[in-house]
């Protein structure tokens, strides 16, 4: 089953938990946009609190504890036997984090609305402003559904496989660093900004385009592949794009914010 769903396909689904995961680094809070209009039946999922633990040495968006994630998803109406659809404004950056986290914790039927809310409205489909409570779900968090990397494994993969850096190229090169205290990249990592995964307007490129893109970066079938970014959000988008391309990849969940928390770890620039 494709990890993506179109607006028309979502409109035809009889029953699904729909999560609105609109989020921007630095704000404003996504819930404000949710209240202005969302897909009917959707509930707001807060990336910072529902899809991540508090920031610290493990990174700016470390994985939540299983118990905390399970409680959050049940509150949002997620159940084990019920499909889940996640969306954000357009390019699926935040939605991909929800997709990956649900998959990691064992949900087997999660899809991302391709093109997000922008595609939904362009299709002429309605919006709602109500915030009706949803019945609690019965989701059980079972960690391990998706491969993850720690810092040592990411370093090894950069040497023995392919480690993709999903951040903007200038951050990879170390020319600018607007968020983390150190600029640069993990030695041996390959620059692969997530902006190259989507078309203008936010929809993902097709499978053939993405496969050619990742193959050209060294990510080929049979070779271990991983992805990281600043805090594990856009790297989930990279993993999603790789899956669309038919390639599997591990996520360095702590990403650069975890890497630079240890001053002894090497940093490359250029």
User: For residue 151, what pLDDT is reported?
Assistant: 98
Neighbours of 170 (CB within 10 A): 14
Q: Looking at the DSSP assignment, which residues form a beta bridge with residue 164? A: 190, 227
User: For residue 26, what pLDDT is reported?
Assistant: 83
User: For residue 241, what pLDDT is reported?
Assistant: 98
CA–CA separation, 266 vs 270, rounded Å?
14
CA–CA separation, 217 vs 201, rounded Å?
24
Phi-psi region of 124 (alpha: psi -120 to 50; beta: other; left: phi over 0): left
Residue 191, token pair as written in the block:
């620059």
Which CATH code, of 3.40.250.10, 3.30.56.10, 1.10.1520.10, 2.30.30.280, is assigned to 148-259?
3.40.250.10
CA–CA separation, 227 vs 229, rounded Å?
7
Q: Which residues make up the CATH 3.40.250.10 domain(s) of the chain?
A: 4-122, 148-259
What are the two backbone dihedrals, phi and then psi, of residue 117, each rounded to the nearest 5 degrees? -60, -30
Which CATH code, of 3.40.630.30, 2.40.50.140, 1.20.140.10, 3.40.250.10, is assigned to 4-122?
3.40.250.10
Query: What 8-state DSSP symbol labels residue 23?
Result: -
CB neighbours of 263 closer than 8 A, spacing ≥ 6? none
By annotation, the residues acting in catalysis are 229
CA–CA separation, 214 vs 207, rounded Å?
11
CA–CA separation, 65 vs 88, rounded Å?
23
Nearest to 227 by CA among 194, 179, 201: 194
- CA dihedral in degrees (153, 155, 158, 164; nearest 10)? 80
Q: Looking at the DSSP assignment, which residues form a beta bridge with residue 5? A: 113
Per-position pLDDT tens, the chain of length 270: 899 999 999 999 989 999 999 999 888 899 999 999 999 999 999 999 999 999 999 999 999 999 999 999 999 999 999 999 999 999 999 999 999 999 999 999 999 999 999 999 999 999 999 988 899 999 999 999 999 999 999 999 999 999 999 999 999 999 999 999 999 999 999 999 999 999 999 999 999 999 999 999 999 999 999 999 999 999 999 999 999 999 999 999 999 999 999 999 999 999
User: For residue 212, what pLDDT is reported?
Assistant: 98
CA–CA separation, 190 vs 102, rounded Å?
27
CA–CA separation, 111 vs 87, rounded Å?
9
User: For residue 1, what pLDDT is reported?
Assistant: 80
User: For residue 14, what pLDDT is reported?
Assistant: 83
User: For residue 27, what pLDDT is reported?
Assistant: 83
Neighbours of 67 (CB within 10 A): 9
CA–CA separation, 56 vs 72, rounded Å?
20
By the 10 Å C-beta count (0-12 exposed, 13-18 middle, 19+ buried), 181 is classed as exposed
């Amino acid at each position: 089953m494709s990890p993506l769903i179109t607006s028309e396909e979502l409109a035809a689904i009889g029953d699904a938990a729909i999560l609105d995961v609109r989020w921007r680094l630095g704000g404003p809070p996504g819930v404000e946009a949710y209240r202005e209009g969302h897909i009917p039946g959707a509930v707001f999922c807060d990336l910072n609190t529902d899809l991540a633990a508090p920031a610290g040495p493990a990174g700016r968006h470390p994985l939540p504890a299983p118990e905390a994630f399970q409680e959050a998803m049940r509150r949002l109406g997620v159940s084990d036997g019920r499909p889940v659809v996640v969306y954000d404004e357009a390019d699926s950056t935040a939605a991909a984090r929800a997709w990956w986290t649900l998959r990691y914790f064992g949900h087997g039927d999660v899809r991302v609305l391709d093109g997000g809310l922008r595609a939904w409205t362009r299709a002429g489909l309605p919006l709602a402003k109500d915030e009706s409570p949803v019945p609690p779900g019965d989701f059980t968090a079972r960690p391990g559904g998706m491969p993850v990397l720690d810092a040592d494994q990411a370093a090894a993969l950069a040497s023995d496989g392919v480690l993709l850096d999903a951040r903007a190229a200038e951050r990879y090169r170390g020319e600018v660093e607007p968020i983390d205290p150190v600029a640069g990249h993990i030695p041996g990592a390959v620059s692969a900004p997530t902006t190259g995964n989507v078309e203008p307007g936010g929809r993902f490129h097709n499978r053939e385009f993405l496969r050619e893109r990742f193959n050209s970066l060294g990510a080929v079938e049979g070779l271990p592949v991983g992805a990281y970014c600043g805090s594990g959000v856009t790297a989930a988008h990279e993993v999603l794009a790789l899956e669309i391309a038919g390639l599997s990849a591990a996520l360095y969940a702590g990403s650069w914010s975890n890497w630079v928390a240890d001053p002894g770890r090497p940093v490359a620039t250029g």
